[in-house]
Structure formats: structure tokens, C-alpha cells
Amino acid sequence: MSYADLSSAECSTLLDEQKRAYAAWKAKDLSLNMARGKPSSAQLDLSAPMLNVLNAASDLQAADGTDCRNYGVGVGIREARELMATMLDDEADRVIVGGESSLNLMYDAIARNWAFGTQGCTPWGKLDTVKWICPVPGYDRHFSITELFGIEMINVALNEDGPDMDAVEQLAADESVKGIWCVPTYSNPSGCTYSDEVVERLANMKAADDFRIFWDNAYCVHHLSSDPAEQEHVADIARACAAAGNPNRAYKFASTSKITFPGAGIAAMASSEANIAEITKLMNVQIIGHDKLNQLRHVRFLHDAEGIAEHMAKHAALLRPKFDLVEETLSRELEGTGCTWTHPRGGYFVTFTGPQGTAKRIVELAREAGVTLTGAGAPFPYHKDPNDAVIRIAPSLPPVEELAQALEVFCCCTKIAVLEKLV
Ligand code: PMP
């Protein structure tokens, strides 16, 4: 049955039915949250033992004898750089381990280029116009950073294999376009992973000398399946850029926020030798050294790439049933409504697309029934979804029973919003 084939009277009957169901949900006085991509407390418990890794009796020296209790080593202790290099798919020498947030590293990267310019180019802040390519739907906090700097954001469609590269190539050829936001693995929020072809084209396209790809690989090890055949891995942008003769084009970022503790993990970036030298010099003015005890704690808890993979398999075991539940519930409840949604193999989100003009209404109905969703429009620059159709579903935080209820409410609200357009 497709809603589009129903008569207006049939739609009215269905709408009345859904409104009754909605009233019953409202009467339950729910308070549920599917808004942010936070790990659940069960996931956080997985890393609780890390807090016992260091204590007053521990050897608090890094492998090279650095006393991690003291100032210094702005780029991070060697073993933490090696650990993060495995996530960043790079060499430890080209990795800087920062503080506890990769978003903060991205903000600083823009702020530095804004104030000082990069590799001898004019500071972005001195230019009349700075533009930025924003694959959509994308991560709202990326867009908040570029918006804050007054950078003009230009939407480009994010397809199943990455951004629409015809559009990206055309835009990047403009000298005033200085960057692009990319979440190349299990993208936030669509869950897509960039294809090799997209990586090649990003590396090879014509762009300004100081055009920078912000390669935010936040979900590079966040697979939902432990079967390697079901796991997605993106090609390395740095190698592709170097081979294309554009070695300074990419800044890569990652963090352990969704491995250990968000807000208390370690974050890192990797780039070319020249970029890392430039950044290190400027960062040394900004800070004497980040939290090396936290770096040490992470290395002793996670050890290496294999240790990270083992730990991530535990996260996956907790997350998989939630993603399965989203798929089952939406498939069962929304058949015939014309809605679509993504089927990610990793990451933290599902992107839902309803008929044009329904997203705000669905979010509002859900809120009135006690279910908080990410705001409609959030995955777009300036919070403007041109079709008012996309909603980011974040199933990680609520326990399964609460998620089940929240999804039922979501589907009921969706059916109401779709039917209201048809009667
Ligand atoms: N990038 C993406 C794509 C994210 O989804 C998130 C977390 N929601 C972050 C960055 C934030 O990372 P961090 O905690 O390292 O700042």
C-alpha cells in the first residue's frame, strides 16, 4: 500500500487513527531523547577500567623517559602519536596529539589560517570573501564553526559514495573557496563512506594553494559488524594528495571520543611534514603541552590498532541492536509513506528523509509527545534544509526499551505529518 494511491477520505481515516495513537503516546508523559550522538552509559562503562590504569604508584614516564606529570612535548608523547597514527592512517612523525577534542583542533586549524595564512598564503581573514564546500546532510558543529568565521557555506549533495564531485570540482576551481568539510567514514549523519574515486578526485582537482580538505575521520573504527567484509574503510587522502602533487591539501582528524570518553579522550591531527611543522610552531605559542597523563592512560588501555579494534567490537555489540531496531521499526511502520532512510554499517546515525515539507512538523509533533529529536535543518548550513525533509536519528544514547518507544512515537508523528499533506 502506498499512501500516495489512497483517496483523500482514506487518508482522513488513517490520519484520525494515527491521531488517536498519538494522543495515547502523549498521555504517557514520556521524556525520551534521540537528539545527540552520545554513547550510552553502558558504552561508557566499557572504558571505566581505563581510570584504574594510572594511579600514584604507576610508572608515569613515557617510553622515552618523559615525565608525563610535567610540562612539555607539545606534539604529544611518541606512543600516543603512534596509537593515533593507526587511526589517522599515517606516520607518527606527521601526527600531533592535541587535547581532548578533535573539533577543537579543527576550529584551531581554521583560526590559524584565518589569522596567519598557511604556507605563505594570505590570511583568510584578510580576504574579502572566503567560501567553503559543505556536503549535506553534514555535521552541524562543522557548519557552526565556518558560520562563526563568516565563511560563506555552499551546499553540495552527499551521495552514497561521498560528495557530488562534479559540483565539488566546479566550486573548488574558484580561488575564494578555501575548504571542504568531509566525514569520510560512516559520515555524520548519512553513514556513507567515500569511494576511492571520490578520494582521488578530491586530491587531484584544481583548487587554491591554500584550499584545505578537513578530513574528519571521527568514525574510522566505528564499525557495527565484527565481520571484516561488512566493515568500510576509506582510502587515505594524504597519500592521494601527495601523489597528485598537492601534499599540503589535507588535514586529517580523529579522536577517541567515541572509543573511550567524549570530552575526556585524546584527539589528534595528521598532515604533511610542512603543515605539521607550521602548526607545531604556532601551537607552541598557544600551549606548552597537552594532557600527557591522559595520553599515557589511553596508550596503556588501548595499546595499538588491535586493542582499539577489540574495544570497538564491544561498542558494536551494544550499538548493533539499536541500529537493527531502527531498521526494523521504520521498515514495519513507514511502508508506503514515501519516507526513506539510510542503512549504515557504522558510525552513530541514520539519516531519515520524509516527503518535502514534513521534517519540522515531525520534530515538533515528537517534541510535544516527549521525544527530543535533532532539530530539523540541523544537518545543513545555517540550519536551512531546502526541502524541510531530513531528520538525523541518533539511536545510541537511550537504552533499547526507551529507544523502542521513541521510534514508535517517531513513526506515529511521521505518519501524521505525511497524511496531513495528503488530506
Ligand atoms: N566530528 C564528527 C563528525 C562528530 O560526529 C563528532 C562528535 N559528534 C565530533 C567530530 C566531535 O569530536 P571530538 O569529541 O573529538 O571533538
Over residues 193-252, the pLDDT tens digits come to: 999 999 999 999 999 999 999 999 999 999 999 899 999 999 999 999 999 999 999 999
Which of 422, 387, 391 lies closest to 406 in space, CA to CA?
Answer: 391
Q: What are the DSSP E strand ranges found in 200-291?
A: 212-216, 250-255, 267-270
The four Cα atoms 104, 108, 114, 120 give a dihedral, to 10 degrees, of: -140
Average pLDDT rounded to a whole number, residues 170-184: 98
Q: Which of 97, 106, 108, 139 to mutate to test the pocket of ligand 1 (most atoms within 8 A of CB)?
A: 139
Ligand 1 centroid distance, CA of 103 (Å): 6
pLDDT exceeds 90 at position 24: yes
Integer Cα distance of 345 and 354 in angstroms: 21
Integer Cα distance of 407 and 420 in angstroms: 20
pLDDT digits (tens, 9 = 90+) for 73-100: 999 999 999 999 999 999 999 999 999 9
Ligand 1 atom showing the smallest separation from residue 267 Cα: 15
> Taking a C-beta distance cutoff of 8 angstroms, is the pair 221, 377 a contact?
no
- pTM, rounded to two decimals: 0.97
ipTM surpasses cut 0.95: yes
Q: Ligand 1, atom 2: nearest CA belongs to which residue?
A: 218
Q: What are the DSSP E strand ranges found in 35-130?
A: 95-97
Instruction: Say how many Å lie between the first and final Cα of the chain, rounded.
Output: 16
Integer Cα distance of 205 and 249 in angstroms: 11
Ligand 1 close to Cβ of residue 103 (< 6 A): yes
pLDDT of the residue at 1: 80
Ligand 1 close to Cβ of residue 139 (< 6 A): yes
Integer Cα distance of 100 and 298 in angstroms: 11
Cell for 136? 549535506
Ligand 1 close to Cβ of residue 183 (< 6 A): yes
Ligand 1 atom showing the smallest separation from residue 254 Cα: 15
Average pLDDT rounded to a whole number, residues 261-284: 98
> pLDDT-based confidence at 36, cuts 50/70/90?
confident
Integer Cα distance of 231 and 145 in angstroms: 30
Residue 245 CA: distances (Å) to CA of 204, 207, 279: 8, 12, 21
> Taking a C-beta distance cutoff of 8 angstroms, is the pair 172, 206 a contact?
yes
Ligand 1 close to Cβ of residue 102 (< 6 A): yes
Which of 172, 193, 122, 180 lies closest to 151 in space, CA to CA?
Answer: 180
Domains and CATH numbers, the chain: 3-44+314-422 (3.90.1150.10), 63-303 (3.40.640.10)
Ligand 1 close to Cβ of residue 190 (< 6 A): no
Lowest-pLDDT range, 56-60, 175-179, 182-186, 225-229? 225-229
**Which helix or strand (DSSP H or E) is residue 179 part of?**
strand 177-182
Integer Cα distance of 74 and 81 in angstroms: 11
Strands 267-270, 250-255: pairing is antiparallel
Residue with cell 582510502: 235
- Sequence-distant (≥ 6) Cβ neighbours of residue 151 within 8 angstroms: 110, 124, 130, 131, 132, 178
Integer Cα distance of 326 and 184 in angstroms: 23
